[in-house]
Amino acid sequence: MFSIGVDWLGYLAGTLTTIAIIPEILAVMKAKSASQISYLWLSVILIGLVAWMLYGAILRNIPLIYFNAASAALYVIMIALKAHY
C-alpha cells in the first residue's frame, strides 16, 4: 500500500544501521584494543543479522538482504579485530 512512498525510509534505516559500526571499528583500530567489546554481543548481533538476511531471502527483498549482508561483513571485521587485538 505505502511501499513506493516510504521505500526511502527503509533505505535510510538500512544505511544508518549498516554504517553505525564503522566508528567503532575505526576506534578499535586506532586504540589497537578491543577489550571493551564482548564476543557474546558480537555473536548475538551477527546471528541476528544472518537471520534478517534469511528472512529477506525468503521474502525476496533485495534491500533487506543487502543491508544485512553488509552489516554482517562489518561485524565479521570487528570480530577479526577483536581476535587480533
Range of the domain at 53: 3-84
Write out the three cell numbers for 73. Answer: 561483513
Write out the three cell numbers for 68. Answer: 544485512
Q: What angle do CA 41, 14, 27 make, to 5 degrees?
A: 50
pLDDT tens for residues 19-54? 999 999 999 999 999 999 999 999 999 999 999 999
pLDDT tens for residues 52-71? 999 999 999 999 999 999 99
Predicted TM-score (pTM) of this structure = 0.89
What gap in Å lies between CA 57 and CA 43, rounded to an integer?
21
Q: What is the tally of structural domains in the chain?
A: 1
Q: Residue 33 corresponds to which amino acid?
A: S
Query: What is the CATH number for 26?
Result: 1.20.1280.290
